[in-house]
Structure 1
Amino acid sequence: MLTVHHLGVSQSERIVWLCEELDLSYELKVYDRDAVTRLAPPDYKALHPLGAAPVIQDGDVLLAESGAIVEYIVAKYGKGRLVRAPDHPDFAPFLYWFHFANGTLQPATGRNMILGRLDLPADNAVMKAMKARLDLALGLVEARLGTAEYLAGDELTTADIMAVFSLTTMRYFLPYDLAPYPAIRAYLQRVAARPAYRRAMQKGDPGMPLLLT
């Protein structure tokens, strides 16, 4: 049995959503963050040396890193779903946007979150540069979604499953305004309409308002 260890309000929501999209049989174990520190509880940190979410168990396999987990699950259980094969015309965009999520978009939000906690002046050069980096990343997503329904083309793929966290739940840690990005907002409404996404968020983070606008 595949077990998904889900830390509330974290990137591990990607894995719950993936399992729901693939209609997999899996066990979901949900862990709440510490009410004071907002960090993972000790029993979650004990799962893996990094102490970070997500983590899955599949037989003797213990695996962390959301990108690696997504690739593992679709390779083992996906039966070709939610990915693009090398001979597909959208293969290169699929690869790009899949890796863009954790290679560019999420690091940009994470750096801005950390800098925002340092009480730096608004004209700090590093802060300005990192804000510009996030604006550039969001602008690239906006431009892509102005020409395609989903990041890899006309259908949802794991590239979307990787990216949506940074556009939604991450805003609990780094509030930012999506008003300048109408294509992203329309895209998030398409995601919100997916039953698998709704099921995943209800199972993993029941009661949490979804930041989809």
Structure 2
Amino acid sequence: MIIVHHLNNSRSQRVLWLLEELGVPYEVKRYERDATTMLAPPELKAIHPLGKSPVITDGDKTVAETGAIVEYLIETYGQGRLIPAAGTAERLRYTYWLHYAEGSAMTPLLLKLVFTALPTRAPGLLKGLIKAVANKAQSSFIDPQIKAHLDYWDAELGKSAWFAGPQFTAADIMMSFPLEAAAARAGAASRPRVKAFLEAIHARPAYRAALKRGGPYDYAS
């Protein structure tokens, strides 16, 4: 039996969703973030040395990192589902978006989160200075980077209904987190095709079933 070590409001929600799409039985072991630091609890280190989520255990196998988990589940349980045929243009696009989601897409969004939080955690005497530095970093570098990615997503979704082509794939599951995070932090839902993509994934029965299994998820609508 697959066990998903699931952290609230995290990338592991995508793993639950993929398992629901595949119809693979699984169990959920829940972990809650520290209310102050928003970090994962130390108990996760008993599963993986870095103490981060998502992590799955499948028998004697432990698999970490969302992209690696998705590839493992598709290869082991997919039976050809949610992945384009090898050698096709759609397969190349699928591979690109699968890795882009946690590479290029998440970097500026993580920086946005960090620089937004910095002033609230600064010592009183330094709060004003740190706020000015954080605002400058966002306006001069982070926000333009995010805008470039938002424009890119919207343009790419104009080429096909889903990121890898006309059919829904696991690449769309991977891309859901950066798009949902950007909608919450950076106004991504103002892009019409991005908004349509989010509405489409939120309406999928497997997505809704994963929410029931995983519990509250701030990025869902």
TM-score, length basis structure 2: 0.87
Cα distance change on mapping 1:209 and 1:63 into 2, 3 Å: closer
Pick aligned residue for 2:151 from 111, 136, 139: 139
Match of 2:69 in 1: 69
* 3-state SS, counterpart of residue 51 of structure 1: coil
- Distance in 2, matches of 1:157 and 1:194, equals 13
**Partner secondary structure for residue 166 of structure 2:** coil
Q: Does 1:189 align with 2:208?
A: no
CA contact (8 A) 1:105 1:138 kept: no
- The aligned counterpart of 2:210 is 200
Shift of 1:59: 1.1
Query: How far 1:118 moved relative to its partner?
Result: 2.8
- Change over 3 Å in CA distance of 1:202–1:171 after alignment to 2: farther
| Residue 43, structure 1, aligned to residue 53, structure 2 | no
Larger helix proportion of the pair: 2
Q: 1: distance between equivalents of 2:115 and 2:139?
A: 7
| CA displacement, residues 23-54 of structure 1 (integer Å, 9 cap, x when unaligned) | 00111112122233322122223321111110
Give the drift of 1:124.
2.2
Q: Which moved more, 1:85-94 or 1:135-144?
A: 85-94
The aligned residue for residue 11 of structure 1 is: 11
Query: Cα distance, 1:123 vs. partner?
Result: 6.0
In 2, the alpha carbon distance for the partners of 1:126 and 1:182 equals 24
Q: Which has the larger radius of gyration?
A: 2
Q: Which residue of 2 aligns with 1:86?
A: 86
Q: Is the 8 A contact 2:146 2:186 kept in 1?
A: no
Bigger mean CA deviation after superposition, 113-122 or 69-78: 113-122
Normalising by structure 1, what TM-score?
A: 0.90
